[in-house]
Structure 1
């Protein structure tokens, strides 16, 4: 497994490869987290919205009981959209579920506000079945609360998730603290280069989720991925994970099975020819209007992503 790290704008080190917990089924998460942390993973990514932070906490506790030190594990959580006007309350709920005094990074999950007084804690809906969204919400308001919780010590760093270039350009002029991270869906079929370039310019670290595309790994059969995997004598998953390290980004790999958790620890150094082939593939999809975004909840909000405008 790579032990590579990147340095955040806070000065803290963040692992290049992390363990994701989104869509992990109840009853599987605790064991998967324990196994991952006990076998080399040093970043665990979670969120209140995932509904499994209590199990993530159980897995962390079990790994710590085996001698893994808390300070050696980089734990990420996110404030959910129903808590974007009460950030500290959202963080406190996550900390309680995780059984931790602090997280290493706390993110704004999505830049919108769902009704905090709605008919569901996570996904309030209107009578017609649509998401119950507060339309006049201004996302920088949440960032001011994020800056306030940073001062409490309950999180070591703050950042954003699913922020487009447009939304970052709205946030940065009023931010007292520059986000440490922007966590986005990222892979050769959705390079989001305009976001990556702006984040590099501003010192914001990219953390990539859904590196394989989505459930089932739809990018495993993409021609350039298959060709580069054959060249290096590795599986396509290895190439898709290595792509992000070559771009200077942290990548999240998710699985609940021991063999896949182990396999996802394998990365290779891609050479200039590999990178060109992957970039050419991305450029071709961009020109043809065939970029693929696999994660886009039905919020009915314009987030400023070119492929969804």
Structure 2
């Protein structure tokens, strides 16, 4: 079990490994979270838009792990940017918790709160319906103001931000503690990592294995590295991320894989370099969204 941690700019400790809860639903999803917590996972990565906060709360209760031992991350949904505090209240109630260790802006994309869809409202011509007279900088200012009043929010962060968006909110004088982004050897985010490191912003990797259908898991060169380390390719990819300097939040509903993923290896410098090289040879972004344009992979 990995007890590794990273220290955030405010001194808080964030576990090096967490459980992503996206698409974990129904009894199978709940059982997966319970199993993960019983095995030793202590960070849960949640979001209002995942629609499963009630299930996460049930799983925490069933696991017997106390709230004090957990690091809970949740995210402000795109369609709630102009109603952020209401979203926070609903989140705390659904998760049955008095505090969030991190509250993130899920995307720098404010969508119409009163639109025709709870996640991705559209205009009559089919294009995305953005919130009028609102932008993500205003959302960030609102989140800062809420945190100043509400002890329920221990730390603030963002997700899916590039350098351009981080620059835009920096004038507030309050930088996010973390920036959670898609991050794996095929999308190494080197420029963004360098920028965040200089600013004291901790990158956190979602889809650290390359998301569903990832070619990385079947890569023959990575399989050679895994065999050499008597490990799975997934374990090597997660260990690569931690070695490079960021927490990883894989998602799985398989008890075996949940247990395997907890084992963060001490990879050799050679293996770390080889994994980086293999990823660079096949650059790929798995997660895209109609409401946001990412910078090109360099």
TM-score by length of 2: 0.94
Q: Distance in 1 between matches of 2:221 and 2:186?
A: 11
Supply the RMSD in Å over aligned alpha carbons.
1.7
Can you list the C-alpha shifts for 1:39-67, whole angstroms capped at 9, x where unaligned? 1001000100111111011111222xx2x
- Equivalent residues of 1:30, 1:57 under 8 A apart: no
Match of 2:242 in 1: 245
Q: Which runs of 5+ in 1 are unaligned?
A: 286-290
CA deviation after TM superposition for structure 1 residue 93, in Å: 1.1
User: In the TM superposition, what are the counterparts of 1:60-71 in structure 2 within 5 Å?
Assistant: 60-63=60-63, 66=64, 68-71=65-68
Bigger mean CA deviation after superposition, 84-93 or 107-116: 84-93
Q: Distance in 2 between matches of 1:126 and 1:210?
A: 30
Match of 1:10 in 2: 10
CA deviation after TM superposition for structure 1 residue 135, in Å: 6.6
Q: Distance in 1 between matches of 2:205 and 2:269?
A: 21
Q: Distance in 1 between matches of 2:88 and 2:30?
A: 20
Q: Distance in 1 between matches of 2:13 and 2:73?
A: 13
Q: Distance in 1 between matches of 2:193 and 2:28?
A: 33
Q: Distance in 2 between matches of 1:302 and 1:251?
A: 23
Structure 1 residue 265 and structure 2 residue 256: aligned?
A: no
SS in structure 1 of the partner of residue 179 of structure 2: strand
Match of 1:29 in 2: 29
Match of 2:163 in 1: 165
* Cα 1:135/1:307, change in 2 over 3 Å: farther
- Equivalent residues of 1:212, 1:218 under 8 A apart: no
SS in structure 1 of the partner of residue 125 of structure 2: coil
User: In the TM superposition, what are the counterparts of 1:28-67 in structure 2 within 5 Å?
Assistant: 28-63=28-63, 66=64
Match of 1:224 in 2: 221
Q: Distance in 1 between matches of 2:293 and 2:206?
A: 20
Structure 1 residue 293 and structure 2 residue 290: aligned?
A: no
- Equivalent residues of 2:226, 2:232 under 8 A apart: yes
User: In the TM superposition, what are the counterparts of 1:1-309 in structure 2 within 5 Å?
Assistant: 1-63=1-63, 66=64, 68-134=65-131, 137-151=134-148, 152-172=150-170, 174-285=171-282, 291-299=283-291, 301-303=292-294, 305-307=295-297
CA deviation after TM superposition for structure 1 residue 196, in Å: 0.8
